[in-house]
Amino acid sequence: MECPILVWMLSLNRDVTTDEYQKCYELVRECVPHAKIPYAPTSIDSFRQLICQMMPLLMMRHRRISRTKWKDCQTQNGKHWIEQGCEDMPPEKFLQSMIGYHLAYDNSLCGMIMTQGRQRQVINIGIGIKQLAVEPRGVSVAAYAESFAHKLTPLEQTFIKPEFGDEVVLRRLCILLALKSAYIKAIGQSIGFDWSRLEFNIPAESARGDDHPLQGWEFRVFKANLGVARNGGLVEESYQCACAFFRGTKDSKFVWQDNQKDLEQWVQFINVDQLIKVIPKLSA
């Protein structure tokens, strides 16, 4: 069975109030008890985590499935899937109804990738998000790229030589980091995983792990552009995003999604206002 990939990207397109944080916190505490996010109303990172945990609630609400009719399950290495109640469907349909998902965020963008099928088919899925910006602000692109050298292989470092120019170097670096993050999360590895064990040869559209070909994977790469209200003005931000999903095919496949119309078939963009507006319905 073909497991379709669906991605939701949520932009934190404005600052939030303490009251809005409180509503999000209470919803997550009630409906996503496994999340265990410390209460920190002045922390933007805490708010990002809350928003991410609310996205599965929104997705299931969108499918018109009550919160009492599904449960969030987890493998030993932390891979999540949603299991719906089996009372209202035949056994075969129930087995095919598992929803594997992964959540990620970077700065003003939160993402959720999901697919549906049998449990073993859907859990190896991940999304990586990397803002196209240097950090700390003001540092050169060359210095920023150098700070990630330990996460790249010698081959990957040849793709981001300073002579390619700042724009190309930053874009390529963010693509590599987003792909690695998506794959590492898809296989359920911990934060301490050595990223240099992975190699993405972008020109050859191939990937290796511990010097062995990564077979059976589908990688998708796309870009997200946001308009974000900050300090009374509108700021434009760009993000490089990557998806990794294990399909079990003979070879791995790369999809470069540059066409907006094609992207809209499987990526949906929403903002924080749309999510906060439906909070009362998400616990129902």
Question: Please, which pLDDT band fits residue 217 given cuts at 50, 70 and 90?
Answer: very high
Q: If you average pLDDT over every residue of the chain, what do you get?
A: 95
pTM: 0.95
Tell me the DSSP string of the chain.
Answer: -----EEEEEE--S---HHHHHHHHHHHHHH-GGG-PPP-TT-HHHHHHHHHHHHHHHHHHHTT--GGGEEEEE-TT--EEEEE-STTS-HHHHHTTEEEEEEEEETTEEEEEEEEE-HHHHSSEEEEEEESS-SSTT--HHHHHHTTGGGS-HHHHHTT-GGG-HHHHHHHHHHHHHHHHHHHHHTT--TT--GGGEEEETTTTEEEETTEE--SEEEEEEEEEEEEEETTEEEEEEEEEEEEEE---SS-EEEE---HHHHTTTEEEEEHHHHHHTHHHHT-
Confidence band for 53, pLDDT divided at 50, 70 and 90: very high
What is the arithmetic mean of pLDDT over 139-157?
A: 97
DSSP 85: -
Percent of the chain at pLDDT exceeding 70: 100
With beta carbons less than 8 A apart as the criterion, state whether 142 and 162 touch.
yes
Write down all domains in the chain, each with its CATH number in brackets.
Answer: 6-282 (3.90.470.20)
Q: Say what the pLDDT of residue 156 is.
A: 98
Q: Provide mean pLDDT across the span 151-165.
A: 97
Give the separation between CA 6 and CA 255, rounded to whole angstroms. 14
Place of tokens 């791995």: 252
pLDDT at residue 247 in the model: 95
In percent, the amount of the chain with pLDDT more than 90 equals 89
- The string of pLDDT tens digits covering residues 232-251 is 889 999 999 999 999 999 99
What confidence score (pLDDT) does residue 230 get? 82
**pLDDT, position 191:** 80
The yes-or-no verdict on residue 255 having pLDDT over 70 is yes
Q: How confident is the model at residue 65 (pLDDT cuts 50, 70, 90)?
A: very high
pLDDT at 283 over 80: yes
pLDDT at residue 1 above 70? Answer: no
Give the pLDDT of residue 92: 85
Q: Measuring CA to CA, which residue among 92, 70, 90 is closest to residue 82?
A: 70
Of the candidates 181, 128, 176, 167, the one whose C-alpha atom is nearest the C-alpha of residue 149 is 176
Alpha carbon 143 to chain centroid distance? 26
> Is the pLDDT confidence value at 165 over 60?
yes
Rounded to whole angstroms, how far apart are CA atoms 127 and 40? 26
Q: Which H or E run contains 267?
A: strand 267-271
The CA distance from 49 to 69, in Å, is 24
Binned at pLDDT 50, 70 and 90, residue 229 comes out as confident
The pLDDT tens digits of the residues spanning 175-213 come to: 999 999 999 999 999 888 999 999 999 999 999 999 999
